[in-house]
Amino acid sequence: MTVGQSKPPVTLLAVDNLVTEFATDEGLVRAVDGVSFSVDAGTTLGIVGESGCGKSVTALSIMRLLPQPMGRIAGGAIRFQNRDLAQLSIPDMEKVRGRQIGMVFQEPMTALNPVHTIGRQLTEGMLLHGVCRPENALREAAELLDRVGIPSPDVRLGEYPHQLSGGMRQRVVIAMALACRPALLIADEPTTALDVTIQAQILELIKDLQAEMGMAVVMITHDLGVIAETCSEVVVMYAGKVAESGSVFDIFDRPAHPYSRGLLHAIPRLDSEPKSRLGVIEGMVPGLHDLPSGCRFENRCPHALEACRAAPPPSEQVAAGHRVSCSRWRDL
Ligand SMILES: Nc1ncnc2c1ncn2[C@@H]1O[C@H](COP(=O)(O)OP(=O)(O)O)[C@@H](O)[C@H]1O
Ligand SMILES: [Mg+2]
């Protein structure tokens, strides 16, 4: 089954004003502070931002996998298939996780159990969620391995994670995440730990599987190159908030937020002078313990004015589907 081009978009996931907090020795911190975005069925949304901006915490909140007991969803809603995941009981959430929503992490070994065979790990989820009959499980697992490009799948089923290369492990993790044909795949830096040629293959694989299965993808990355490669919609996060959101064309061709512009300038270009300096955004993402009361990007922003320090910028519409949180965007 494929998603027809002419069907009206159906919102699959709507994150609404999500607030996620951690209890730390120095007090309560808000790693995600009022984040909203939505994902239509069958589409890819990218979440991009530097390290520490709250991308993984957003994903872990959706999956309800926040470290316990420090982490908690303190506000907002996570609507998915007519339910609010933020309110689900643990048993109900376990039925969603791995079944309707699959997840791929940066480091494949975090998702794999070193002491169990690939075959056991692949069939576990399918059997748990009852998506295949026990007598068919290994055959279906072999088909999945074949589909994610693993040679000799029958042999691989009997092997352990350490017998595979990093790229092959990530293919196994993708196969596990997709075993129950989820409606949504959340991929958190799925290629960051892999070398460049393997990165491209894994992104291509996710794109192919998405087209084939019609699932939606939330692609989390610090790399705008990955966003350009895979996404139709983009959320730019900075210090726990959404700085800008829009289509991939909005963000790449007419970025409105100085932070988005800074990220774009920091992409190495193949056609640039070999000696030309790569743009960098000076400074660092503010720590969660001493967040500024105004715009969180103010101390790094080349366009900041006194007013930017006074109060957080409101979210404004730049054009249909394109929003920015910057008081100065009209003047830039
Ligand atoms: N278990 C935790 N306890 C306290 N703070 C945390 C915890 N996990 C993440 N954070 C904080 O939340 C912020 C966002 O982290 P994260 O979502 O992992 O960033 P990203 O994925 O964008 O690199 C960081 O400042 C980080 O220090
Ligand atoms: Mg992360």
Q: Which two tokens stand for residue 23?
A: 């209890």
Tell how far the Cα of 139 is from the centroid of ligand 2, in angstroms. 34
Cα 301 to Cα 51: distance, rounded to the nearest angstrom: 18
Range of lowest pLDDT (29-38, 89-98, 104-113, 278-287)? 278-287
Q: Give me the pLDDT at residue 286, please.
A: 93
* HSE of 124, CA atoms in CB hemisphere, 13 A: 15
Tell how far the Cα of 226 is from the centroid of ligand 1, in angstroms. 21
Helical ranges in 158-274 per DSSP H: 166-178, 196-213, 224-230, 248-253, 258-265
Among 28, 56, 66, 289, which residue has the most ligand 1 atoms within 8 Å of its CB, making it the best to mutate? 56
Beta carbon of 119 within 6 Å of any ligand 1 atom: no
The dihedral through the CA atoms of 93, 94, 98, 104 has a sign that is positive
Assign 3-class secondary structure to 26-45: CEEEEEEEEEEEEEECCCEE
**Does the pLDDT of residue 277 top 70, yes or no?**
no
Nearest atom (ligand 1) to Cα of 66: 1
Q: Give me the pLDDT at residue 49, please.
A: 96
Q: Give me the pLDDT at residue 137, please.
A: 96
Range of lowest pLDDT (17-31, 81-95, 103-117, 311-325)? 103-117
Nearest atom (ligand 1) to Cα of 49: 22
Q: Which two tokens stand for residue 218?
A: 């939330």
Range of lowest pLDDT (30-39, 188-197, 262-271)? 262-271
Q: Which amino acid is at 64?
A: R
* H/E stretch holding 123: helix 118-128
* Domain edges within the chain: 42-66+89-100+182-270+277-331
Q: 175-225 pLDDT, tens per residue? A: 999 999 999 999 999 999 888 889 999 999 999 999 999 999 999 999 999
Query: What is the pLDDT confidence band of residue 279, given thresholds at 50, 70 and 90?
Result: low
Q: Give me the pLDDT at residue 28, please.
A: 96
Structural Rg of the chain based on CA atoms: 21
Q: Give me the pLDDT at residue 266, please.
A: 80
**Closest CA to ligand 1's atom 18:** 56
Q: Give me the pLDDT at residue 329, please.
A: 96
Residues whose CB falls within 8 Å of the CB of residue 283, separated by 6 or more in sequence, listed in order: 299, 300
Total residues found in the chain within this entry: 332
Q: Are 332 and 259 in contact (CB under 8 A)?
A: no
Tell how far the Cα of 163 is from the centroid of ligand 1, in angstroms. 32
Q: Give me the pLDDT at residue 7, please.
A: 72
Q: Which two tokens stand for residue 261?
A: 């512009």
Tell how far the Cα of 239 is from the centroid of ligand 2, in angstroms. 12
Tell how far the Cα of 193 is from the centroid of ligand 1, in angstroms. 18
Q: Give me the pLDDT at residue 5, please.
A: 59
Q: What does each C-alpha distance from 241 to 14, 35, 38, 236 come to in angstroms?
A: 16, 6, 15, 9
Query: What is the pLDDT confidence band of residue 278, given thresholds at 50, 70 and 90?
Result: low
Q: 310-328 pLDDT, tens per residue? A: 999 999 999 999 999 999 9
**Closest CA to ligand 1's atom 4:** 22
Query: What is the pLDDT confidence band of residue 267, given thresholds at 50, 70 and 90?
Result: confident
Question: Percent of the chain at pLDDT above 90?
Answer: 86
Among 24, 30, 57, 188, which residue has the most ligand 1 atoms within 8 Å of its CB, making it the best to mutate? 57
Beta carbon of 56 within 6 Å of any ligand 1 atom: yes
**Does the pLDDT of residue 268 top 90, yes or no?**
no
- Indicate the CATH number for domain 42-66+89-100+182-270+277-331: 3.40.50.300
Beta carbon of 22 within 6 Å of any ligand 1 atom: yes
| 3 state SS of 59 | helix
Q: Give me the pLDDT at residue 4, please.
A: 53
